[in-house]
Amino acid sequence: MQQRLSWNKPTFAIVLLAFIWNLILVIGVVFNAHFALTRAAGGQFTAFPLGIRVLYFFMTLMIFFQVWIFKLIFHADTVHPDWIVRAFFYVGVAGVLMNAISRSNSERWNSIPAAVIVWAFWYFGIKRNPELQ
């Protein structure tokens, strides 16, 4: 496990930074932070409605779960249920597309860290795991 991490420290750091960006952004929406207004939910709000803030709270929990699952697959540990990696990959692809077609220029930039995370789930979780192919 240690050797695998030392081989991929830059990759792990880049994926970790992408997760950190996502967490900062969704937590910013939950707390109605000014910096998140143009970067989330289409960039259309001057203040996030309660419903969107609640939705983003649950997205925050999901991202923490993704980080934990990514840590498991990166270290080649067993993930149960095994379909969760594929689910995160497909949901991530949808997230990349939604960010990329946003009306907000600032939100379109979010597709870059989202794509990094999608790639990480594909490469470390699906491609390197023959059971998921």
Total-model pTM: 0.86
Copy the structure tokens of residue 42.
Answer: 């289409």
Give per-residue pLDDT as tens, 89-133. 999 999 999 999 988 888 899 999 999 999 999 988 888 766 655
CA angle 43, 56, 52 (to 5 degrees): 60
Residues 133 and 129: their CA atoms lie apart, in Å, by 7
* CA-CA-CA-CA torsion sign (11, 13, 14, 16): positive
**pLDDT value for 7:** 57
77: part of which helix (H) or strand (E)? none
List for the chain the helix, strand, coil content (%; round to 5). Answer: 75, 0, 25
Give per-residue pLDDT as tens, 47-100. 999 999 999 999 999 999 999 999 888 887 888 888 999 999 999 999 999 999
